[in-house]
Amino acid sequence: MSNVPEIFGSMVFSEAVMQARLPHATYKEVSQAISQGKRLTPEIATVVATAMKNWAVEKGATHFTHWFQPMTGVTAEKHDAFVHPTGDGRAIMEFSGKELIQGEPDASSFPSGGLRATFEARGYTAWDPTSYAFVKDGVLYIPTAFVSYTGEALDKKTPLLRSMQALNKQALRILRLFGDTETASVRATAGAEQEYFLVDKSVYDKRKDLIYTGRTLFGARPPKGQEMEDHYFGAIKPRVAAFMKELNDELWKLGVVAKTEHNEVAPAQHELAPLYSTVNIAADHNQLTMELMKTVAKRHGMECLLHEKPFAGVNGSGKHNNWSISTDTGENLLEPGDTPAENAQFLLFLCAVLKAVNEYQDLLRISVASAGNDHRLGANEAPPAILSVYVGDELEGVLNAIVSGEKFAGGGKEPFKVGVSVLPRFPKDSTDRNRTSSFAFTGNKFEFRMPGSSQSISEANIVLNTAVAEELRRFADRLEAADDFDADLHDLIEQTAKENIRIVFNGNGYDESWVEEAQRRGLLNLRTTPEALPHYLAEKNIQLFEGNGVFTETEMHARYEIMQENYAKIIRIEAMTASDMVRKDILPAVSLYGGQLAKSLAAKRDLGEGVDVSYELGSLKRLSELTAMTSKAADALDEELAQAADIAGCEELSNFCRDKIFATMSELRIYVDEMETITSGKFWPYPTYGEMLFSVR
């Protein structure tokens, strides 16, 4: 049994460790840097570096790395040894303040969207003191930002920190207007619920598509999938439980508060949810969680699949981003209280969020856009690609009353009645849950349900932080100039509610009628990544990010190119993998089976008239038709891949990949999946869906 209090945070250079190991004055400086964003001097950094190195060496570290998050979607690291020769054949362990503060990885091979040319290699990593360093696998990991030689952000942490700064600045202005002089900082918080699949490594290793793309490009539906709904919250299998236990131990050592684990809807699908942290730490922790899921799964003879849709026909995996705003004094600014209709400060922050989601719905959609997530959004386990806000009956009533100018009749939390006298009565939450909503208020936070399981939560939180900061800025500008604060506050809340009520929807987001209703309301339905991305460079979005100091226009153009290129690369890799599987494995296997059928047919005919050969004849005929169609579709796919190589424009290429290559892949899959249902299992070259989904027993 793990001694959780003993191991929790044991590998983290945490505030408690710093308090114990740093001189009091140094600790105070670092603590203020963490809580208030103060810059640390080189002298202070040197003291911290020495203490950090000594602590890390005691934990078994021999190397350190500046751990950063480039635009690849995964983390990056370069290990440097603490070892320094003394000149007499011996060595000592050294780590300077300069090495702590700044690193210099090669920036030329990371995605930069044209910000860096191959011959312009210099980039810098800069220590983020607000996210604690930690030791993993004998290496001291130092969370850092990553910027180019000319100062542009090349990563996901830098703009996230900038967006947090913007939100803090504008939220403090609002709080001062309400008479709050105590709050020193306002922080966005997040908790990322992580969904994933576990399959046995033996079946994974036989699937080229899983290895190269993370999802199955072919596969007929198994006799049993998730229809019985028996896997959801079911008993956790011993092998999975052992994986979860080790994963928890590893995460707890690194200070990640892994709290909830359970089986998800689809066979082999599971979920892990942490407690909330400030958004930059939550983003770091989620990257660690994904990395450790894969590492620990391998140690248990399994593979962890983080693709948004690894199996067609069963639920995909998301990453629900639970976002809120809190003060350093512990007040949750999205807590409605018992009487939200009378809580003007809450209503103003609520209106800021509603207006932000309504006005920047395109950016929120783009923040979760990817080739993988396009498979998931709009399916029955995920919200549609339409942004809407679920607020629950009580808050919807409050907003409708504000819009209509009528007095709100409701209020207060009623006891929850379960109809069994022996069970206790407890207060009913102010909202139900709506799993079909893309952006749902869940009591004192918003659950953004659209991010995909493999994605960094940084992108979504950058947009949320910045958009809400912008609305708060506009509110503060107006209220600071008001002659009658109370009257203007009332008018502002009323006006904002009226202008943005269209984004509020408490109904079933899976219903086809919602698509029509959303269109009538004027809401965007950006179903695919190539559809969504051009909105990124809209003038209002450039003004949003530049005005709040989160991105320059140059950085936005670079990110736009990276997103377009990434989509096209993924589709082309999938297409080349599909072609390889069909030509080298599937068609030869089906041909061999066809030969077997032909021999059987000939043998039966030799027995004379009256022998029933309908099975062999029918199967052989259909397989012959399917192999011809498959071969033709594979030829078309190869031709389209050749055409794609000659397309220069990133937007034109991504559209071609969606409209031509992906469409041909989908056609090819139809033929291959039908062939699988006809071909003998002894001849089929790959593990089936049933074998994969039920491989962990």
Neighbours of 400 (CB within 10 A): 14
The pLDDT tens digits of the residues spanning 280-336 come to 999 999 999 999 999 999 999 999 999 999 999 999 999 999 999 999 999 999 998
Q: Contacts for 569-573 with beta carbons within 8 Å, 24 or more apart?
A: 570/213, 570/370, 570/371, 570/372, 571/371, 571/654, 571/657, 571/658, 571/661, 571/662, 571/665, 572/641, 572/644, 572/657, 572/661, 573/212, 573/213
User: Is the domain covering 163-220+229-418+438-551 a CATH 3.30.590.10 domain?
Assistant: yes
Q: Are the C-beta atoms of 630 and 672 separated by less than 8 Å?
A: yes
Give the domain ranges of the chain: 4-155, 163-220+229-418+438-551, 567-693
- Is the whole-model pTM more than 0.95? no
The pLDDT tens digits of the residues spanning 393-433 come to 888 888 888 888 777 766 555 543 434 344 344 344 555 55
DSSP H helices, 152-261, are 157-177, 201-204, 208-213, 238-253
Q: Divide the 697 residues of the chain into consecutive groups of 10 and give the mean pLDDT of each group.
A: 85 94 91 77 89 94 92 88 77 81 72 62 81 96 88 91 97 96 95 97 98 97 78 88 96 94 92 94 96 98 97 93 95 87 88 97 97 82 84 86 77 44 44 72 92 96 98 97 92 94 90 90 95 97 98 95 96 98 98 94 86 90 97 98 95 97 98 97 97 94
CATH number of 567-693: 1.20.120.1560
Q: Are the C-beta atoms of 395 and 430 separated by less than 8 Å?
A: yes
CATH number belonging to the domain at 4-155, selected among 3.30.70.2740, 3.40.50.2300, 3.40.50.720, 3.10.20.70: 3.10.20.70
The pLDDT tens digits of the residues spanning 535-576 come to 999 999 999 999 999 999 999 999 999 999 999 999 999 999
Spatial separation of the C-alpha atoms in residues 430 and 448, rounded to whole Å? 18
Choose among 440, 448, 598, 561: nearest CA to 507.
Answer: 440
